[in-house]
Amino acid sequence: MWDNLKEFLAKYFNRLLIPRIHLLDWVEILLIAFVLYHLIKWIKRTRAWYLVKGMVILVVVWVLVSLFRFTAIQWIFVNTINVGIIAIFIIFQPELRRALEQLGQRRLLSFFGDSDSGERYSDETRDEILTGVFEMAKVKTGALICLEGVISLEDYERSGIPTDSVVTAALLINIFEKNTPLHDGAVIIRGNRAAAATCILPVSENMRLSKDLGTRHRAGVGLSEITDALVIIVSEENGKVSLAQKGQLIRGVDREFLSNKLLEFQNKPTPQSRLLFRKEREKDGKKA
């Protein structure tokens, strides 16, 4: 094994050419690094981040396969890579379309820039959500409320009607009141604001879900399967409150359970908070 590893590394480094680097080369390197850095930041806010993790695993597997000279597996990799690339473009077509649209609208800097994704709500907003949800549950008013996590919900937000309003119990009750223009679909909450209403969500195709679940519950589970959002569902049939997260549905939760989940989601660290925490810890280490 070690002989194969040494042989592989020797052949690899022998093929490398070390050219002279000039000023323009440094500028080019910095530009590429800038684009890659912001591209990775954007990918982390989309479903494509899971794909990147999978690709890293495949690269590691490919290196191991090459080291051990598993010819059959190598042949499978080589002959499926073209199909895999086509599948990637099909699966992530919405993200690619949105990227090209923003580029065409000359919103490249905002596209690569920071997003509000991952912004957490305040304690007051959490209390308003709790109050609104259980007030609707009392009178069996159906509701579908999506709290955005790190992964952006902009694609689903664009399918609805923009509201951009401060989240209050009265607002949620009025939106989901029967026979009102906004009661169909989901409300997306970003931070302390209700970004949009009547949003269309992907319906889960999980065959293990109970047959008595309606479209509202299946849509909530569907969104939680492909994003890190926390979804609250109120049944208009029995008034029970359910919670969907990570593709799992918890039915018939009480106020205390939902409050704890909202608090847990509220305090969930974001990439920005992790970075700040790391910087503060490094400062404390230097002071010590």
Mean pLDDT of the chain: 81
> Does residue 273 surpass a pLDDT of 50?
no
Q: CA of 183: how far to CAs of 11, 136, 201, 282, in Å? A: 64, 12, 14, 49
Cα 17 versus chain centre, distance? 40
Question: pLDDT tens-digit profile of 175-219?
Answer: 999 888 898 999 999 999 999 999 999 999 888 888 889 999 999
What pLDDT score was predicted for residue 93?
72
Do the bridges between strand 248-250 and strand 143-147 make them parallel or antiparallel, or are there none, so unpaired?
unpaired
Question: pLDDT tens-digit profile of 50-101?
Answer: 677 777 888 888 888 888 888 888 888 778 877 777 877 777 676 666 666 5
Q: CA of 144: how far to CAs of 16, 18, 50, 239, in Å? A: 56, 58, 25, 12
42 vs 163, which has greater pLDDT?
163
**This prediction's pTM:** 0.65
For the stretch 98-101, contacts whose Cβ atoms lie closer than 8 Å and that sit 24 or more positions apart, written own/partner, are: 98/154, 98/155, 99/42
> Does residue 227 surpass a pLDDT of 90?
no
Ordered DSSP codes for the chain? -HHHHHHHHHHHHHH---PPP-HHHHHHHHHHHHHHHHHHHHHTTSTHHHHHHHHHHHHHHHHHHHHHT-HHHHHHHHHHHHHHHHHHHHHTHHHHHHHHHHHHTT-HHHHHS--STTPPPPHHHHHHHHHHHHHHHHTT--EEEEE--SS--HHHHTTSEEEEEE--HHHHHHHHSTTSTT-SSEEEEETTEEEEEEE--PPP--TTS-TT--HHHHHHHHHHHHS--EEEEE-TTT--EEEEETTEEE-S--HHHHHHHHHHHHTPPPHHHHHHHHHHHHHHHHH-
Highest mean pLDDT of the ranges 5-19, 39-53, 115-129, 154-168: 154-168
Give the chain's domains with CATH numbers.
Answer: 2-112 (no CATH), 123-271 (3.40.1700.10)
Give the Cα-Cα-Cα angle 74, 76, 80 (nearest 5 degrees): 120
Q: Do 271 and 44 meet the contact criterion of CB atoms below 8 Å apart?
A: yes
- Give me 203's structure tokens: 């319906």
What pLDDT score was predicted for residue 210?
87
